[in-house]
Every structure is written in structure tokens, then in C-alpha cells.
Structure 1
Amino acid sequence: MGKSARTERSRYESEVAAYVAAGGDEQVQRVITAVHGLARRLSQWYTQQLSHHDLSPGEWAVLRHLAAESDDNVSTPSQLADATAVAPSSMTHRLDRMAERGLISRTPDAENRTRILVQLTRQGWDMFRQVIREGDLVESDVLAQVPTAQRARLAQLLELAIAGLDDALK
């Protein structure tokens, strides 16, 4: 079977078998490999979806951070650079492009005039909502194979794994 003809399922089975043969615990490898495969495929789809909106993954990271992770939906360029793992100079260029498109606004901080505050504009919020709604359709399709009654349990189990990440990865 050529690489282009491989299904995600066959890739998963091959990877799990290789990891177990190398000494990995089968249950651990089944879970981690499945989560990684799902994340990989979703990432490919998200990148394609974002390009339809003329958004780069980096710009999406800024929108997502401002909408969901920053205090009061306001952040500084340095905080955004740190949150998205880019150099501050790269963040400046990214924010320039986003401001030109009307997705974000930049204003001086009234308490510290040397600091700039970045926040989503109405247009930025509209873009965020549109991307989320479109993504929700694909994500729903991904979960179509999981019975509705078991989705809450799956979410609980994954949340348990996430809860341990901060301690496990220190």
C-alpha cells in the first residue's frame, strides 16, 4: 500500500504497533496516537479553512487568544508574542496586517503610555465567530462516529488527561 493510499486508520494502527514493539505501553500508545492523529488532521483542515478567510495560523492564534484567553479580551504585543511563541518583531508585523484589515485595534495604555493594548474590533469578533461556526460543522462530523451519549464521557476523560499536563510536563 503506497503512502498516499494509506488511511488515517491504517496509519494509526502502524504507529501504535511500532511504538508497542519499541517498548511503549499499548493502552497509552493507542490513546496518545489517536489524539495526535486527530489533532494532525484537524490542524490540516483548520489551516485550509483559515486560508479561505485570508488568515494565517498565526493570525488565528492572535484572534483566539484575544477572544478566549486574555483578560478582558485585551493583551499587549509582548503578551501575544509570548502566547503564540513568536518574536516580538514578528508580532508587530502580524498586528500591522490585522489592524489594516480592521480585525484588531491598538491603543496606548492610559496607565503606562509606553505600552500598547491590543483588542479585537467588532470585525475581529465577527471573524472569530465565523471561523468557530464553520469549524464546529467539521468537528461535529469528526465526532459523528462517537455515539452522542458517549461524547460527554469522552470529553471528561480527555479533560482528566489535560488536567495532569501541567504537573507531568514540569
Structure 2
Amino acid sequence: REQSLPPSHPDLATNYNNLAELYRTQGKYDDAEPLHLKAVQIYEQSLPPSHPHLATSYHNLAALYYLQGKLDDAEPLYLKAIQIWEQSLPPSHHSLATSYNNLAGLYYLQGKYDDAEPLFLKAWQILEEKLGAEHPHTLAAKGNYEIVQQRRKQ
């Protein structure tokens, strides 16, 4: 693809993103990061700022930073992804639920329980609507919400 497409082609960014995600799932974080950064850069140059592919790329890079413990780097990327998805996707889309949940998890780790709680609640509500109350993802989101509620009471 690098030989057949211009360096700023969005399809090339998609390939970088997909390979980076493979590396991330394999725990090869040092290999994943430069590919995620390339994907973000290409998408920022070639797509409108409200394009869902850009949001996906921000979200995936944020997830990598989260796993690396770079929470301060992950937060603005999650926020950008959420902002784009809130503008471009239906309010009950699973991508929003995932980003709400992940950002809430980040806030939870930072002890920002007041910030985490409404995001966990949104994720749970979306998943319950889309997948049903007994789906494992819904139950996990509900559990996250209940945990942060209890932590806030302590």
C-alpha cells in the first residue's frame, strides 16, 4: 500500500491503524504507537475533522496510551473521539458506549469518581438499549457504574 498510494491517502491510514491494533493486542506497544500516530496524522490531513475514522483513530491511540499508563495523553484523545462521535453517530451507537466506558475507566483510575460516574452510566444505558440487560458487556458496564457509585460514597 505504501508503494501504490500517496502518503496522505486515508486507506493507508486505515492499514496503519489496523496493524497498530494488531500490535496493541499482542502487547507490542512500542511497535503500535508510531503506526497509530501515522494514522492520526494522515486522517487529520485528509479527512474532515468530524469524520468517524478520525474518531476511531483517536480512540485507538488513547486506548494504547491507557494501557501504557499514559493517562494524561489518553484523556484528550478520548475526549476528541467522543466529541466527533456525538456529532456524527446516533446517540446509542456502540462506539460511543466504548469511549464513554474507557474515559470513565481512566477517570476512575485517577480518582475522579464524579467525572467517571456519568460516563459509566451513559455506557451502561447505551449497551442495555442495544444489547439487552443480560448481555455480558451490559452487565460489565453496569458493574463499572455500581463500583464507582460505591467508591464515591466512601
What range is the shorter-chain TM-score in? under 0.3
Bigger fraction of residues in strand: 1
Bigger fraction of residues in helix: 2
* TM-score relative to the length of structure 2: 0.27
